[in-house]
Amino acid sequence: MVSFRRYNYVNKIKMAIANSVLTAQQGTFIVNNTAAKTVDHDAIVVLEDTVFSAIRVAGSDVKSTYIAATGTAVKAGAIIRPINGAKFSGVTLTSGSVCLVL
């Protein structure tokens, strides 16, 4: 059984990490062209309706893990976060623009 104190501590760490991402404490980078951008980042914020050609984790394209209809634009305002504690390693757009949260 996990102690309440340990559970509280783990949740505080998770909240601190989430706040760090939401406030972009490590900075941001705007991608607004079709060139591949390779940089580790914690989140993708879609700034306008955007079609992705690739979303990479550890160099592998995982776009279909995050987008059901991969050829259709993701609507402005969507926030995409990696699962299982991973980091995105790069992104390539077909159209649109996104903000990478570093």
pLDDT tens, residue by residue, 5-63: 555 554 554 454 555 566 667 889 999 999 999 999 999 999 999 999 999 999 999 99
Mean pLDDT of the region 63-67: 97
Domain range summary for the chain, segments of one domain joined by +: 26-101
Q: Judge contact between 82 and 57, C-beta under 8 A.
A: yes
* pLDDT score recorded for residue 26: 80
Between 65 and 13, the higher pLDDT residue: 65
Please state which architecture CATH assigns to domain 26-101.
Sandwich (2.60)
33 in Cβ contact with 92 (< 8 Å): no
- Please give the angle made by the CA atoms of 41, 68 and 74, to the nearest 5 degrees: 60
Q: Round to whole Å and give the CA distance between 58 and 64.
A: 15
Tell me what pLDDT residue 83 has.
92
In three-state secondary structure terms, 5 is helix
Distance of CA 86 to the CA centre of its chain: 10
The residue that leads in pLDDT, 7 or 89, is 89
pLDDT at 25: 72
pLDDT bin (cut points 50, 70, 90) of residue 1 is: very low
Contact 41, 100 (CB under 8 A): yes
